[in-house]
Amino acid sequence: MKKFFVTTPIYYINDIPHIGHTCTTVAADILARSHRQLGEEVFFLTGTDEHGQKVAEVAAKEGLEVKEYCDKIAPRFEEAWKKLNISHDFFIRTTDPRHEKVVEEIMTKIYEKGDIYKGKYEGYYCIGCEKFLTETDLVDQKCPLHPPQQTVKRSEENWFFKLTKYVPKLIDLIENDKTNYIFPDGKKSEILAKLKAGVNDVSFSRENVSWGVPLPWEKSHTIYVWIDALINYYSATRFVEGKEDFWPADIHLLGKEILWFHTVIWQAMLLSAGIELPKKTYTHSFYMIDGQKMSKSLGNAISPEELISKFGVDGTRYLVARSFPSTDDADVGLKRFTEKYNADLANNLGNLVSRVCKLGVNLQSSNFKLQLEKEFVEKIDNLKFDEAVGWVFENFVDKSNNRLNEVAPWKLSANDPKRIEVLTECAKNLQLAAWYLEPIMPQACEKIKKLFEGEIKALDKPLFMRI
Ligand code: MSP
């Protein structure tokens, strides 16, 4: 059976999830569900990034031991994903000793290869990003993504990874059509330009940050949190039962601020450790609120719970998919979400289901075998959810609405062949739409399928209440 392994970034546990994190997780869930629908064996991995300075500082502020703090917050992520009907197969936590063991093994491999040496880091560090900032990352000597006080000047002894050694190989791989793992294309050229402009070796350990995995050969140093975190994608396949054959991953999903880590550092680490490279990384843009990135530190975050209480689980998943920032940043907000929900789900799809159920109740509906159209599958695989949904609406929903308005079956007698024909056609279209949209709205689509399977049934209450 064909295998499909999809991952999300593992989110920092300094905060509970907002809909920025939600959009990547929902996107991964749509991919996972679509590939299951295609009959593949899927491994969908998500989780939390629990080490590092940022998490240690938040725990201290709350007056908790760091592990105690992590154990309190990690379930909040799992709960949020459960509420959103996320179908991950495993939730990884970097404080899991089984993960830590793999991290030590890989670091030792890289060390033994001669790719790590001791040096001194002098420069800026953003605690928010947990990142050593280069000149190009800085705006007015600060990280543009986090409050200014999170950018600090650091001078510390670090173990460095010979990233420079792998640059020619990386360029070669990215430029080669068969191994070009960076999507979409714009991101590929961005990374190539940066690699060609010249890079420095990177810190792989931290001094004076005790919350993390100790470096195997110098235990007073801690493995840099990002290195520990990246390894999660691979470590899960080592210790989660039955998942060994899922490596290399088919797709890593991520936001654009962590592109370099995933497409350069992670790949170079794997090359050094002699591990096969993931097949693809897909980098999306940001959810914005009034032109600013949505984030906890900027205080403009919308929580998934807020959306669920207003639009329901499927409504929320639909809105997230339709506004997914696949290539450009997407301005979102409750007003826009409400308009879209009403227009597409309450007034269009939901209303069509009600009309067809009401007019066609007890009619025999047609039997057919579904084969997902390639055009649609490709759109989903390329994370063009907005286009994919648009395609379904155009082909099945809008077409049915137009036919209904044209034929006006409500004006015809119950056994008029024209009335029967148009209603069975609409019922078939709705079943098809439900098949296609199921990975996005699993519960509502399951309901639609049941309403139209065999014979058309009466609907007890609207699928999507108007707001
Ligand atoms: N812990 C690291 C990732 C390690 S992966 C080996 C991290 N965590 S994070 O909590 O900051 O999550 C970052 C990810 O959350 C982004 O890459 C993106 O997937 C998602 N998003 C966070 N804010 C977002 C928006 N405003 N819009 C869209 N996605 C965003 O970085």
DSSP-assigned states of every residue in 153-202 = EEEEEEEEE-HHHHHHHHHHHHHSTTT--EESHHHHHHHHHHHHH----E
**Max CA separation in the chain (angstroms):** 86
Distance CA 462, CA 205 (A): 56
**Catalytic option among 23, 54, 99, 143:** 143
Nearest CA to ligand 1 atom 5: 9
What pLDDT is stored for residue 178 in this prediction?
A: 83
Give the residue, out of 7, 8, 11, 48, with the most ligand 1 atoms within 8 A of its beta carbon, to mutate for a pocket test: 11
Q: Which amino acid is present at 60?
A: A
- 126 is annotated as an active-site residue: yes
Residue for token pair 């990135």: 293
Nearest atom (ligand 1) to Cα of 266: 6
In Å, what is the CA distance from 182 to each residue of 173, 187, 190, 280? 10, 7, 10, 6
Counts of helices then strands in the chain (DSSP H, E): 18, 17
- 21 is annotated as an active-site residue: yes
- 445 is annotated as an active-site residue: no
In Å, what is the CA distance from 227 to each residue of 16, 167, 236, 262, 342? 22, 18, 15, 10, 44
What pLDDT is stored for residue 300 in this prediction?
A: 86
**Exposed e or buried b per residue across 335-363, where buried means at least 16 C-beta atoms within 10 angstroms of its C-beta:** eebeebbbebbbebbbbbbebbbebbeeb
Cβ < 6 A, ligand 1 pocket: 9-12, 20-21, 23-24, 49, 229-230, 232, 254-255, 257-258, 286-287, 293-295, 325
What pLDDT is stored for residue 405 in this prediction?
A: 95
Contact 95, 67 (CB under 8 A): yes
Q: Residue 229: name the closest of 6, 5, 4, 11 by CA.
A: 11
**Could you give the count of Cα atoms lying within 13 Å of 356 in the half-sphere of its Cβ?**
33
What pLDDT is stored for residue 160 in this prediction?
A: 97
Torsions phi, psi of 49, nearest 5? -100, 110
Contact 377, 34 (CB under 8 A): yes
pLDDT in tens, the chain (467 residues): 999 999 999 999 988 899 999 999 999 999 999 999 999 999 999 999 999 999 999 999 999 999 999 999 999 999 999 999 999 999 999 999 999 999 999 999 999 999 999 999 998 999 989 998 888 889 998 998 888 989 999 889 999 999 999 999 999 999 998 887 999 999 999 999 999 999 999 999 999 889 999 999 999 999 999 999 999 999 999 999 999 999 999 999 999 999 999 999 999 999 999 999 999 999 999 999 888 888 877 788 899 999 999 999 999 999 999 999 999 999 999 999 999 999 999 999 999 999 999 999 999 987 777 889 999 999 999 999 999 999 999 999 999 999 999 999 999 999 999 999 999 999 999 999 999 999 999 999 999 999 999 999 999 999 999 99
Nearest CA to ligand 1 atom 12: 11
**Catalytic option among 3, 101, 296, 384:** 296
Nearest atom (ligand 1) to Cα of 11: 10
CA–centroid distance, 21 to ligand 1, in Å, is: 6
The rounded Cα 387 to chain-centroid distance in angstroms is: 18
Give the residue, out of 24, 187, 296, with the most ligand 1 atoms within 8 A of its beta carbon, to mutate for a pocket test: 24
What pLDDT is stored for residue 135 in this prediction?
A: 83
**Catalytic option among 252, 293, 357, 445:** 293
- 51 is annotated as an active-site residue: no
Nearest atom (ligand 1) to Cα of 49: 1
Residue for token pair 């699928």: 463
